[in-house]
Amino acid sequence: MFNLGKAIPFEDKPNDLLTVGELLVDMISNEYGDAFECDGYTRYFGGSPSNIAINVNKLGIRSYVASAVGRDGLGTFLEKGLQNAGMDTSGIQRVEESTSMVVITKSQETPIPIFYRGADSELAYNDSLEQALIRSKIVHFSCWPISRVPSRYTVERVIEKAREHKLLIGFDPNYHPLIWQKGEDGVSYVKSIIPKVDIIKPSEDDAERLFGPGTPAEQVERFLELGAKLVVMTLGKEGAMVSNGMEILTFDTKATEIEDTTGAGDAFWSGFYAAVVKGYTIKEALELGFAVSAYKLKFTGAVVNLPTLEVLKKQFDL
């Protein structure tokens, strides 16, 4: 059980955070408009594992990414994007399938993404990935790699090996039926993964997709009943509710200015991971995670130019 008032003990390892999973192109329309009105698109570097890895680096801890992209121009674009952010790209596998892409046409209503799953779900478990895992303190993944095979098998082995080597395991249960393997009950599978990890950060939407409607307290309870050890449920402008199964903490949002919500959840993970590695208590790390998220919200884009954790700590009076 996690003691919220204490730091998480880590063995000394050469790397802090390993993120595993989707690296993809976000192809986003330049203007708002319905299907026929906007023909101009811009490609962006995308995928939350890489965004988190780049963020935590800026915040002051070491990170490494394991992802698969195609042997094509968009794969090269993504690999160079990581290199330009100062990341080691030796964990990027180049595979036969086309580099995965999400096409988003902006709209005044909710934009509906179109998913093109290719290379990302081909991520293989290999020696290089196993070594990266053994050398890390924390491993993180989302629903993307577990929603398809063979990357699902890779994550299953990652979880097993991470347990064996006492890594902290963070899982983003961002379940969405559209990314899931056709004809399979993704909800059951996601629920089966939750007891195998240490920390989950569902949003209200994630919880509703997995359990149906409920109050935040009810949803947190449902995750705990499944065997979750630490649930960080984000509630948008209502802040967050956190529970380790014994106590419940609520957090007000620290956001003062909302320019763009893209990547706000990844920014939370980034601040939280950086803080636990730096020896802050879980409660402090949660505060710092929400601070990084609030900082990100002031800027456009999934990855913004974050200062170090210490600077943010002062800025947010923590």
- Chain residues binding a second copy by CB under 8 A are 27, 34-36, 39-44, 70, 72-74, 76-77, 80-81, 96, 98-99, 101, 103, 105, 112, 114-116, 118, 182
Shortest approach of a second copy to residue 40 CB, angstroms? 6
Using the minimum distance from each CB to a second copy, give the nearer residue, 96 or 238. 96
Shortest approach of a second copy to residue 110 CB, angstroms? 12
Using the minimum distance from each CB to a second copy, give the nearer residue, 27 or 267. 27
Around Cβ 300, how many Cβ atoms within 10 Å?
10
Shortest approach of a second copy to residue 114 CB, angstroms? 5
Shortest approach of a second copy to residue 35 CB, angstroms? 4
Amino acid at 27: M
Using the minimum distance from each CB to a second copy, give the nearer residue, 95 or 162. 95
Task: Decide if 298 contacts 316 (C-beta within 8 A).
Answer: no
Please report where in the chains the tokens 């600077």 appear, as a residue: 311
Using the minimum distance from each CB to a second copy, give the nearer residue, 50 or 136. 50
Cα–Cα distance, 221 to 215 (Å, whole number): 10
Tokens representing 111? Answer: 């934009």
Using the minimum distance from each CB to a second copy, give the nearer residue, 70 or 263. 70
Using the minimum distance from each CB to a second copy, give the nearer residue, 110 or 188. 110
What's 21's DSSP letter?
S
91 Cβ contact list (under 8 Å, min separation 6): 64, 65, 66, 67, 128, 129, 132
Shortest approach of a second copy to residue 59 CB, angstroms? 26
Shortest approach of a second copy to residue 129 CB, angstroms? 23
Task: Decide if 301 contacts 259 (C-beta within 8 A).
Answer: no
Task: Decide if 245 contacts 226 (C-beta within 8 A).
Answer: no
The DSSP H or E segment spanning 305 is none
Cα–Cα distance, 280 to 243 (Å, whole number): 18
Cα–Cα distance, 260 to 296 (Å, whole number): 8
